[in-house]
């Protein structure tokens, strides 16, 4: 299934963190923080300005980004987890 975000929405695939161990104690998934870094897998065409012209997005497909902790909406597709968020929820591009 293909995703085509609308307006200034971006689909991000969160990167999984390595399993956390403290000594010989394994930290369960429920106690782990949500990842805040991911890879852009789809991007919309951009938001329209007051003049009707499209404003291109600063991110593109394939970029690794850092996004706000609670930004976007989580969903599952094809047994993978994704987030759809506005471009304004993206804080930085990792180079």
Residue 58 CB contacts under 8 Å (≥ 6 apart), including other chains:
87, 90, 93
**73 lies in some domain:** yes
- Please check whether residue 3 lies inside any domain of the structure: no
pLDDT digits (tens, 9 = 90+) for 12-55: 999 876 555 566 776 666 655 666 999 999 999 999 999 999 99
pLDDT, tens digit (0-9, with 9 covering 90-100), for 67-79: 998 889 999 998 8
Instruction: Give the pLDDT score at 70.
Output: 85
51 domain-assigned: yes
Predicted local distance difference test score (pLDDT) of residue 3? 84
Domain of 68? 9-14+33-94
| CATH number, position 76 | 2.30.33.40
Integer CA distances (angstroms), 84 to 3, 9, 51, in order: 10, 7, 26
Tell which residue, 71, 91, 66, has the closest CA to residue 83: 71
DSSP per residue over 20-70, as a string? Answer: PEETTEEPPGGGSPPP-EEEEEEE-S-EE-TTS-EE--S--TT-EEEE-TT
Flag whether 19 is in a domain: no
Task: Say if CB 92 and CB 66 are below 8 A apart.
Answer: yes
The tally of domains found in the chain comes to: 1
| 25 within some domain | no
* pTM, full prediction: 0.79
Flag whether 69 is in a domain: yes
């Amino acid at each position: 299934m293909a995703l085509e975000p609308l307006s200034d929405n971006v689909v991000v695939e969160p990167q999984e963190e390595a399993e956390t161990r403290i000594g010989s104690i394994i930290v369960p998934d429920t106690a782990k923080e949500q990842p805040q870094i991911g890879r852009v897998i789809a991007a919309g065409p951009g938001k329209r300005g007051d003049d009707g012209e499209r404003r291109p997005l600063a991110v593109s497909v394939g970029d690794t980004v850092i996004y706000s902790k609670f930004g976007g909406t989580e969903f599952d597709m094809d047994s993978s987890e994704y987030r759809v968020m506005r471009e304004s929820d993206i804080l930085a591009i990792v180079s």
